[in-house]
Structure formats: structure tokens, C-alpha cells
């Protein structure tokens, strides 16, 4: 059985609305920026998911070993600015970001 995440492990869940027609450019920008996340202090994983019902909407899921690893360390880094320069021109609206912790693992 898989062990639940510790309370300090958090997922950044980012809802991204992309300008119509810029989906491929956005995905390329995320691909280009993946190494920035890989080397970020406290970053454990990163993935991008596209909505089936609305192809201009995405979820960026980033696992951090603590909330501060994202909100303090990464956000204050030069790599955060590089990440934004790779993708922000594709945003149709400002990203919505929340942080979650596992409370139940069903199976």
C-alpha cells in the first residue's frame, strides 16, 4: 500500500487559461521551463494537464516538499522569472494558484 504524503508535502495546483490558438506555444514554453522546476529547491515533480472539455485550459501540478519551497524559495528566484517569461505571454487571464495536502488516499 502506498504511504500517504507527509503533511509538509504540498501540491501547487495552478489553473491556467491560455489564449485560443496559443496552446502549442504554451506547451512548448512549459517544456522549455521544465528544467527550471527540476532544479528548484524543494521541487519534487511537475506535470501539465490539458482539459478535455476546454483545450484552452490547463492544470499545472507541482509537488513541493514544503509550502515555503514554492512561495518563498522558488517565487524569489531568477528561475521563477524565467518560467514566467517562457509562458506568461500565452495567458488569457492571471493564473489561479492553490496549494493542497493529501487528506485521504482512497486507493
pLDDT of 1-45, one tens digit each?
444 444 579 999 999 999 999 999 999 999 999 999 999 999 999
Pairing type for strands 10-17 and 96-100 reads antiparallel
pTM for the structure as a whole: 0.88
Strands, sheet with 96-100, edge to edge from the N-terminal-most edge strand: 43-50, 57-64, 10-17, 96-100
CA 4 to chain centre: 21
pLDDT of 88-104, one tens digit each?
999 999 999 999 999 99
Angle between helical axes of 23-38 and 78-87 (0-180°, round to 10)? 170
Q: What is the Cα gyration radius of the chain?
A: 14
Amino acid at each position: 500500500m502506498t504511504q500517504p504524503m507527509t503533511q509538509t508535502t504540498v501540491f501547487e495546483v495552478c489553473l491556467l487559461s491560455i489564449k485560443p490558438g496559443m496552446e502549442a506555444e504554451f506547451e512548448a514554453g512549459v517544456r522549455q521551463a521544465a528544467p527550471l522546476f527540476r532544479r528548484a529547491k524543494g521541487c519534487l515533480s511537475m506535470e501539465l494537464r490539458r482539459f478535455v472539455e476546454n483545450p484552452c485550459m490547463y492544470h499545472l501540478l507541482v509537488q513541493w516538499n514544503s509550502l515555503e519551497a514554492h512561495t518563498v524559495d522558488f517565487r524569489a528566484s531568477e528561475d521563477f522569472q524565467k518560467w514566467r517569461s517562457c509562458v506568461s505571454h500565452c495567458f488569457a487571464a492571471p493564473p489561479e494558484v492553490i496549494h493542497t495536502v493529501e487528506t485521504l488516499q482512497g486507493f
